Structure 1
Amino acid sequence: MEGVALEFRRAWHDLLYGKADWRSLGRRAAPLAAAAALGTGFLYVRKQQAPPEGDFLATCTYRCNASDFGGALSKHLPKAQAQIDALQRAARRLRGPIERDLMIAKLKEAQDDAASIMERLLEDWKRAGYFDEPLTAQRPRPAFPGIDLVTQVDESYGRDIGSEVPLCLLKDTRDVSIPRTLSPEDWQAARDALETHGAVVLRDLISSNQVGKLRKHMHLHSSALDLARSKCPPEIAPVREFSAAPFQDEDEDLEPVVSTPGRQHFCLRGRAFEKAVEEAQAGAMPLVWEALCRQRATAGLSQTARPYVSEVQLMVSDPCAVDQFWHVDNASSGLTLVVPLTAIPQEMGATLLLPGSHHLFKQESIPSRVAAFFASLLSANGQPAVVLAAGDALLYDSRLLHRTAANRRYDRTAAVLVFRYDFERPPGMGLAAAQIWSWTGNLLSGVHRFYGKMPGQAKTA
């Protein structure tokens, strides 16, 4: 690699000072041209022998429905209300994969007796201590709320502050709002797609009414003109502009962080607003827990390692917001859930993905990581751009290379809720590593777009 860089510097020096020897330059460029030709040939043959998916995202998209099968499973739970309450507390505090266990139990009902499955499950929960969950949780050490004067690091960002998650399958059946979630069969397919490709799309995770309530809490309002012109329900009508003034009137310390021009991040975790938005993640929790359990096993973490909510934020993309750079949310195991409160068509900042790039961060041999990455990347015929409706969701591995595209509309604002779940504090890398991965994302994105334009028949659904 150093030799190649040296040849580039010599060639550039010769060109700059008019000393270029074209025959010498040709000899120097020959290895690069040969490598490019071999790479192009490999991609062409690969596309002919294993055609990519014409609509890659359709293979990773699943629909959520309001289902009370979690309530039906509650009849097998302990009769004592105190034990049921303890299970609910343990699930909310991310003490264990209780709701994920319920989903697995539902899948196994076809092969075994439901009563015996639940009996074994109750024994496992008892050994794990979920029935002894205390009434009051022991909070982690509070983080210093600001920039450390020595390290210049925000000590409060990403640390565990004891945030809780809402219930899905263990939700009180007397509650009129039953969370929408995946069916057991779709849940099984979604967990495999999430592990293979690093991302899944969940359609209709929350209802239009719930979107409307969340938008009211976040002070996202549609103009009278947009309400009159829009053909969709008023709860999900387009938003022309967003003013943070009423938002900050409720919390004077709520200051936005600008990641790129036109894109504001309001950190809600640990504030009054967190309680208002936490229900948006309820239906995804069984899948979140399954993915976290798999990540914990593959990363070699201890079974006692507990995930936590590392971020809850409102991200607002103003009209004409620019592109984000390619990045990962965390170099370590974790998940990110994005729930849009406005429609996100392609021209308003769709999320661009590099499928399978999370494999590059796994603790495996380099050849196996690269092979898994390219197998996933080349299964998509071009750059996947995730288009979402209000109430849909995107769940992806925190190690997946991704970026939010520019908002090319001058009269539309996009707003999403972002939830992150981690074992270790993000981002897990410094500025230099983040810049290198940004350049790597640009290179891989160019290769992927080139692959999509190569001749070859893509698969159709």
Structure 2
Amino acid sequence: MAWRHLQRWLEANPVVKRSAIIAAKGVVGASAGAVGLALGLREAKRTLQYETPVDVWREASLDVRSSGASSSAASALASVRSVCARNQIQEEDFWAAAKRLRPVEQQLEELHALGLPKDKLHAREDELAAKWKEKGYFDPKRLAIDRATLFGRRLTSDAQGVDIGLLVPPYLPLHGKTTVTTGSVDAPATSPVSWSQDMLQQSEKALDTWGFVLLRGLLTPEDVQSLRCALGLDCKDKRAPPRRAAEVGLWQQQQDPNVSMGRYTYGRLHLLLRGSPQYEMDAVSPHASVAPLVHKHFEIQDMAGNPIFLSEAQLVIADPCAETQQWHIESATGKGLSIFIPLGNVALDRGLQELLPGTHVLHDPRHGLRDRWRRCLRSLCATHGGVLAMTDNVWSAGDALVLDSGTLHRGLANDSLGAPVPVLVLRYDPKDRPAPGCRRSWLLTMTRMGQCLSNVFHLYSWM
């Protein structure tokens, strides 16, 4: 009776009947499409032989503290004075160029790693010094420009994504047993890492294949604790609990009112430290540990005469109950580099970074659009979608996650009731293509694309 009554009612209301038919067809079509998509994903998994996900961290992580002391770095440091003397270069200008992200240290260290005889080594050093001069590394006008000249004392929000002449700490002096005069007031630096050529190549391969690499032990526990104290994360009273995000922000603004901050997701505070005379040098101190990888990554840009700059330095603190971020990219320039360093252990429920492997190639100008999507989808098929930045179920304090800035990623929710999770973020970009390198509409498109890919590959992982 109820069915007949409904049928008569629909016949009496043709507009409602037509709408019901369209809705029913839509449900049937959507169901058929979902079934077809699921079967297609199942067939793709079988064809590609990715029944079990690839353990991406076997290829995309390395222990950077396991290589021991670097003899090439010590040798390169010892030769700086003689190289400068033979080629009429002021030693202070050499270190000034290094502080402005010129790859003089890395190139000299690579040369000494070849193990050449002394006479050939000196000849190659002189050739290298001539190239430095030709590229204008020691141009007095450029060396005279510093952060105070370009930026002055303003709100740190004004420094976002622009070159403000920020100086970074040189890393070669940290490999020496004696004190080296590097010109102006030396910036604080973290413990150096002895990068071998194999480590650099492995890191670059992971960045090219997956869009990220995890550097285990980049900062020592002493470095982490020093940064926590300098950035106000810990109280002087060791018995007191770590400060929450709002308390850290208030403490920093009391020391430097120019520090800007913002909340872009609930429970997560972003403190912008680049441009702060009080905090920027502490914030960029980890550069001393990661500098060789940064220079290696931007090697082609330097050869083309396109220098790089440190375009971002911020502290992100996720309080308990912080919400999951939206999928996003740092930039669409095709070659940016972002580094995330937790200053405390990050467990599974405390806001790990989730990554979509291979999505960085969507902005790679070296490949056509079809090849970009093929490489991206193949990587996602191999890992069954998103992966979490961790080893042994934790993202340890001092373990740096290095991202191609075009990789889709997000911070997950902090579901714990423990201490806040602080992460230091540094970003490097070419000067001719600063972040974001695209319009706001494209950033929003990438957010939607990240959500779509995440949902599709959740289904793929279940099939």
**TM-score interval for Structure 1 and Structure 2 normalised by the shorter chain:** 0.7 to 0.9
Look up the match of 2:216: 203
Structure 1 residues 356-435: aligned runs within 5 Å: 356-363=358-365, 364-387=367-390, 388-423=395-430, 424-435=433-444
User: Which segment is superposed worse, 197-206 or 138-147?
Assistant: 138-147
Give the alignment partner of residue 250 of structure 2, picking from 235, 245, 266.
Answer: 245
| Residues 105 and 118, structure 1, Cα contact 8 Å, conserved in 2 | no
Of the structure 1 ranges 328-337 and 218-227, higher mean CA displacement relative to structure 2 is found in 218-227
Q: What residue is the counterpart of 1:286 in the other structure?
A: 292
Structure 1 position 327, deviation (Å)? 0.4
Report the 3-state secondary structure (helix = DSSP H, G, I; strand = E; otherwise coil) of the residue aligned with 1:378.
helix
Give the counterpart letter for 2:138 in structure 1. Answer: D
Partner of 1:192: 205
* Distance change >3 Å, CA 75–CA 254, structure 1 → 2: closer
Q: Deviations over 1:300-340 (max 9, x none)?
A: xx812111111111111111110010000011121111121
**Other structure's SS at 2:284 match:** helix
Shift of 1:48: 4.7
User: For 2:345, what is the secondary structure of its paired residue?
Assistant: coil
For structure 1, the 5+ residue unaligned runs are: 1-12, 148-153, 228-237, 455-461
Q: Shift of the alpha carbon at 1:278?
A: 2.2
1:265 paired to 2:278:
no
Name the CA distance, whole Å, in 2 between partners of 1:113 and 1:447. Answer: 57
**Percent identity for Structure 1 against Structure 2:** 26
Q: Deviation string for 1:333-370 (max 9, x for gaps)? A: 21111121111122111111111111001112112211
The Cα RMSD (Å) is 3.3
Structure 2 residue aligned with 1:439: 448
2:50–2:382 CA contact under 8 A, matched in 1: no
- Conserved in 2, the CA contact under 8 Å of 1:76 and 1:118? no
Distance change in 2, residues 1:389/1:367 (3 Å) = same
CA change 1:141–1:86 in 2 (3 A) is closer
In 2, distance between residues paired with 1:226 and 1:318? 20
Q: Distance in 2 between matches of 1:306 and 1:56?
A: 32
**For 2:168, which of 165, 169, 185 is the aligned residue?**
165
Equivalenced residues, count = 416
1:59 is displaced (CA, Å) by 1.7
1:355 match: secondary structure: coil
What's the CA shift string for 1:256-287, capped at 9, x where partnerless?
11111111111111212012232222111110
Once residues 27 and 384 of structure 1 are traced to their aligned partners in structure 2, the CA distance between those partners, rounded to angstroms, is 32
Q: Determine if contact 1:240/1:411 at 8 Å carries over to the other structure.
A: no
Provide, for residues 21-49 of structure 1, a one-character-per-residue CA deviation record: whole Å limited to 9, x for no partner: 85797578757754553343123321358
Query: Aligned partners of 1:307 and 1:33: how far apart in 2?
Result: 48
In structure 2, relative to structure 1, the CA distance for the partners of 1:441 and 1:223 (3 Å cut) is farther
Q: Which residue of 1 aligns with 2:225?
A: 212
Q: Distance in 1 between matches of 2:175 and 2:110?
A: 20
* 1:72 alignment partner, one of 67, 70, 75: 75
**Partner AA of 2:386 in structure 1:** Q
CA spacing shift, 1:354–1:226, aligned 2, 3 Å: farther
Match for residue 450 of structure 1 among 423, 437, 459 = 459
CA distance in structure 1 between the partners assigned to 2:359 and 2:138 by the alignment: 40
Q: Contact 1:144 / 1:156 at 8 angstroms: preserved in 2?
A: no
- Counterpart amino acid of 2:422? A
Aligned to 1:124: 128
The answer to whether structure 1 residue 56 and structure 2 residue 56 are counterparts is yes
- Partners of 1:131 and 1:72 lie apart in 2 by 22
* Equivalent AA in structure 2 for residue 99 of structure 1: E
1:132 partner SS: coil
For the 8 Å contact 2:316–2:425, the answer to whether it is kept is yes
> 2: CA distance between counterparts of 1:354 and 1:100?
31
Q: Is the 8 A contact 1:90 1:133 kept in 2?
A: no
SS at match of 1:259: strand
Give the drift of 1:205. Answer: 1.2
Give the residue type in structure 2 aligned to 1:286.
P
In 2, Cα distance between equivalents of 1:16 and 1:407:
47
Contact kept in structure 1, 2:320 and 2:419, CA below 8 Å: yes
SS at match of 1:379: helix
Measure the CA separation in 2 of the matches of 1:88 and 1:375.
44
Q: Any conservation in 2 of the 1:194–1:291 contact (CA below 8 Å)?
A: no
1:222–1:445: structure 2 CA closer, same or farther, 3 Å change rule? farther
Name the CA shift for 1:29/1:406 in 2 (closer, same or farther; >3 Å). Answer: closer
**TM-score computed with the length of structure 2 as normaliser:** 0.79
Structure 1 residue 211 displacement after superposition = 1.4
SS at match of 1:219: coil
Alpha-carbon contact 1:265-1:315 (below 8 Å) kept: yes
- Distance of aligned partners of 1:263 and 1:25 in 2 relative to their CA distance in 1, 3 Å threshold: closer
Moved more, 363-372 or 134-143: 134-143
TM-score of the pair, normalised by structure 1: 0.80
> Residues 89 and 133 of structure 1 are in contact (CA less than 8 Å); yes or no, is this contact kept in structure 2?
no
| Compared CA separation, residues 322 and 24, structure 1 to 2 (3 A) | closer
- Are residues 133 and 47 of structure 1, via their aligned partners in 2, closer, same or farther at CA, if it must alter by over 3 Å? same
| 2:22 paired residue number | 20
Q: Counterparts of 1:170-185 in structure 2 under 5 Å?
A: 171=174, 173=176, 174-175=178-179, 178-185=191-198
Would you say the 8 A contact 2:155–2:275 is kept in 1? Answer: no
Misfit runs of 4+, over 6 Å = 13-16, 222-227
